Amino acid sequence: MTWDPSQYLRYDIERSQPARDLIAALGDVDPTEIVDLGCGTGNSTALLEQRWPDASLTGVDGSTEMLNQASQSGVRAAWHAADIVTWRPDTPVDLIFSNAALHWLDNHTTLFPQLVGTLAEHGALAVQMPYNFSQPSHTLINDIANEPQWVERLHSVVRPSPVAAPDRYLRILEPLVSSLRVWTTTYLHVLSGDHPVAEWTGGATLRPVIAALGDDAHAFIDEYKSRLTVAYPQRTDGTTVFPFTRMFIVAKR
């Protein structure tokens, strides 16, 4: 699967608000070493640099396209190509930050304890993940992918929700940390333009479909757009409201 940084950055302001909110929730945490896991284009890394200008920053990502963009962002970080599943830091980390990335990985029951295990004493793990897999923006993709025209080519890209219910993360992490907060927030994005929800998911959730279908993705996306107009009607002023729930986790050792 390839990422398209310019498509992802179309909703830069809306996509980075949860990262800002997660940083705000970290209060007086004062890290020396920070890792931005799934740093993408470096948007979230830039916010970390603003908040902790003296910290040493490393951005980790598996996408060459996203890392190329990150390395041109002007953010003063070391950029590291790695799969988060196998990534391990050389030394314990004070803050592992991950905005909108860990939902791309399965098996959170193993992953989250592993990440906590890489923290320094009193270190923190701060994670934000989409929690809207039951909403039409996502379910319509799976519905269409499971139809006879597409199912053969798309059965491997349709995933059940990778993000568990909030209380599951409490149960996984509580025995491992001294303080833990898990919460969700629903953002009501007011988007302009035609088919803004498809434009939004085209920067992330739809990427595996686009990769699997190549040029045929246009037909898939046309069908998706027509169903989205019912689920997310355009208002008379031309804007569309896109409710988007996200889950936040702050765990401190």
Ligand X SMILES: C[S@@+](CC[C@H](N)C(=O)[O-])C[C@H]1O[C@@H](n2cnc3c(N)ncnc32)[C@H](O)[C@@H]1O
Give contact residues for ligand X (rule: CB under 6 A): 3, 15, 19, 38-40, 43-44, 61-63, 66, 83-85, 99-101, 104-105, 204
Least distance to ligand X, CB of residue 147, Å = 27
The nearer residue to ligand X, 48 or 150, going by C-beta atoms, is 48
Beta-carbon contacts of 80 under 8 Å, excluding residues fewer than 6 positions away, are: 58, 59, 60, 61, 87
Least distance to ligand X, CB of residue 234, Å = 25
Whole-angstrom distance, CA of residue 82 vs CA of residue 62:
5
Least distance to ligand X, CB of residue 247, Å = 14
Least distance to ligand X, CB of residue 181, Å = 20
The per-residue b/e assignment along 27-48, b for 16 or more CB within 10 angstroms, e otherwise, is eebebebbbbbbbbbbbbbbbb
Least distance to ligand X, CB of residue 21, Å = 12
Helix (H) or strand (E) holding 159: none
Q: Which two tokens stand for residue 39?
A: 């740093």
The nearer residue to ligand X, 23 or 29, going by C-beta atoms, is 23
The nearer residue to ligand X, 31 or 150, going by C-beta atoms, is 31
Q: What is the CA radius of gyration of the chain?
A: 18
The nearer residue to ligand X, 43 or 240, going by C-beta atoms, is 43
The nearer residue to ligand X, 44 or 137, going by C-beta atoms, is 44
CA distances from 81 to 20, 65, 151, 211, 226 (A): 24, 11, 32, 20, 38
Residue in the shown chain whose Cβ atom is closest to ligand X? 40
